Amino acid sequence: MLNFGIRPDEFSYPSVLMACGEQLDLGFGKEVHNSILVSNYGESICVRNALISMYGKCGEVGVARVLFDNLPNKDGYSWNSMISRYASKGMWEEAFVLFEKMRLEDVELNIITWNTIIGRCLRTGNYDRALDLVYQMRTCAIMLDVVSMASGLCACSHMRSIKTGKEMHAFIIHGGCANFLNVENALITMYAWYQDHRHSHIIFQQMEEKDIISWNSIISGYAHYGKYEEASFLFREMLLCGFRPNYVTIASILPLCAREANLQHGKELHCFIIKRQDFSEYLLLWNARGGYGEVALKLFEETNNSGIKPDLISLVAILSACIHSGLVIQAGLLKKAEEIIKTMPFEPSADMWATLIRACQIHRNIDLGEWAAEKLLALRPRNPGFYVLIANMYTTASCWDKLARVRTYMRDLGLLKSPGCAWVDLGSGFEPFSWNYHMRYIPYWKD
């Protein structure tokens, strides 16, 4: 173009700068910038926006910010481009500051910028802020896209706000986005976390197309709350449908095998892991679940020494190994379990606190058990088994006041433990019997 004597204009420069940014060709981009400086288009908003984008994509965020600050008449593209460049480099503090400043100046944000900021809130655990931004998008008359809706559902899941989640679901149906794959997956996860497995399963069954995330979401939802039969059935159905389990699938189903003492199913999964080379790096999970506490702990330490950050699954696995390996007393692994749960970069789940409480009861460590019980009660779980576990520990320690408080919690939440029963041979077959408050046997059925 230059060889033919044709001079670039305000439309040519942005196209070339965009290509430089995509190719990360900073050298040629600077040559184009020099050409712009001696041209008549240095003040063009389109050209200067293209320069900001090019320098930002090539890693020169500081130069991009200088160009942005010197831009007299910034438009929406200028702001959105600068925020996106900060976000792409992980400079979230600067991105948030610019985002708030942009809103104060009443500049229109595009949907990509909104989704970028919301996504960062989710990744940093600021779920209230993420959900608030989704609602602000609606009040600003911004049409939510599939990413925005999935992000809102993710925030609702973590906040355990079933009312807000159902409102979001209704809004999604009204907006005609309920049949998008990532939205359906987010809905499955949300209802599973609410322990509303019926709605979760209905959404799963009505999906026209499923991916591995869909299967993992429904399986992990059942597995998290100890529903072994449902999780196992779905796992086998997944295999029959031709889907190959990944690490998330195995990490969801394998702990249930240990919890339900299903050795055969555990062995089948072990064989599957051995055959798959891509699972070889996850030996920590298998050793922890298999009761090889010393091996799991050694692998955990090697992982940390190698600079690899453990994820939630690894931390749960090593915690379980410390508690269930039978080495708790002689190796002091109960103390190690306490240390891990205090320093882990994730919020411990109700199952993890319950596991620690059970170990404290077995090994008579009431102080640690009370601490874990307080943490578990603060979560107000809906599983009555957790409260019974805490009550049994307090009974063992003769802490009657605290025992009464646990029973009050159960009553306030409307939770009831199913009564135990015995099977008695009446000659014509076995029948269940239970004790009532008069301490006599009563039939388990009603005439």
What are 282-323's pLDDT values in tens digits? 544 444 444 445 555 666 666 666 665 555 556 655 666 555
DSSP SS3 for 251: helix
Query: What is the structure's pLDDT at 422?
Result: 53
Residue 180 clears pLDDT 50, i.e. is over it: yes
Query: Mean pLDDT across the stretch 261-276?
Result: 68
Encoded tokens for 434: 């239970």
**Picking from 71-80, 219-228, 382-391, which range would have the lowest pLDDT averaged per residue?**
382-391
Residue 352 clears pLDDT 70, i.e. is over it: yes
pLDDT band for 441, please (50, 70, 90 cuts). Answer: very low
- The domain limits of the chain are 417-447
Query: What is the structure's pLDDT at 438?
Result: 41
Mean pLDDT of the chain: 77
Query: What is the structure's pLDDT at 283?
Result: 47
What are 411-439's pLDDT values in tens digits? 776 666 555 555 555 555 445 555 554 43
Which class for 261: exposed (0-12), middle (13-18), buried (19 or more C-beta within 10 A)?
exposed
How many other CB atoms sit within 10 Å of the CB of residue 62?
10
Rounded to 10 degrees, what is the CA torsion of 148, 50, 67, 98? Answer: 0
φ, ψ for residue 329, nearest 5 deg = -75, -50
pLDDT band for 236, please (50, 70, 90 cuts). Answer: confident
Residue with tokens 């008359």, as numbered in its chain: 141
Contact present, 195 and 216 (Cβ < 8 Å): no
Query: What is the structure's pLDDT at 411?
Result: 77
How far is Cα 113 from Cα 81, in angstroms, rounded to an integer? Answer: 9
- Helical ranges in 58-196 per DSSP H: 61-69, 76-88, 92-104, 111-123, 127-139, 146-159, 162-174, 181-193
Half-sphere exposure of 438 toward its Cβ, with a 13 Å CA cutoff? 3
Which class for 199: exposed (0-12), middle (13-18), buried (19 or more C-beta within 10 A)?
middle
pLDDT band for 66, please (50, 70, 90 cuts). Answer: very high
What pTM did the predictor assign? 0.60
Residue 217 clears pLDDT 70, i.e. is over it: yes
Which residue, 146, 145, 147, 167, is CA-closest to 156? 167
Residue 444 clears pLDDT 60, i.e. is over it: no
pLDDT band for 373, please (50, 70, 90 cuts). Answer: confident
Residue 180: partners with Cβ closer than 8 Å, 6 or more residues away = 146
Contact present, 151 and 182 (Cβ < 8 Å): no
**Picking from 12-21, 216-225, 256-265, 409-418, which range would have the lowest pLDDT averaged per residue?**
256-265
Which residue, 53, 65, 51, 52, is CA-closest to 13? 51
How far is Cα 277 from Cα 244, in angstroms, rounded to an integer? Answer: 13
The sheet carrying 441-443 orders its strands as: 422-425, 430-435, 441-443
Query: Mean pLDDT across the stretch 198-214?
Result: 93
What are 319-339's pLDDT values in tens digits? 665 555 544 433 355 676 777
Q: Beta strand pairing status for 430-435 and 441-443?
A: antiparallel
Q: How many Å is the maximal CA-CA distance in the chain?
A: 108
Residue 268: partners with Cβ closer than 8 Å, 6 or more residues away = none
Query: What is the structure's pLDDT at 308?
Result: 59
How far is Cα 231 from Cα 26, in angstroms, rounded to an integer? Answer: 52
Winning range, highest mean pLDDT, from 122-136, 273-287, 411-425: 122-136
φ, ψ for residue 43, nearest 5 deg = -100, 0
pLDDT band for 219, please (50, 70, 90 cuts). Answer: very high
φ, ψ for residue 443, nearest 5 deg = -65, 150
Q: What DSSP designation does 428 have?
A: S
Query: What is the structure's pLDDT at 200?
Result: 92
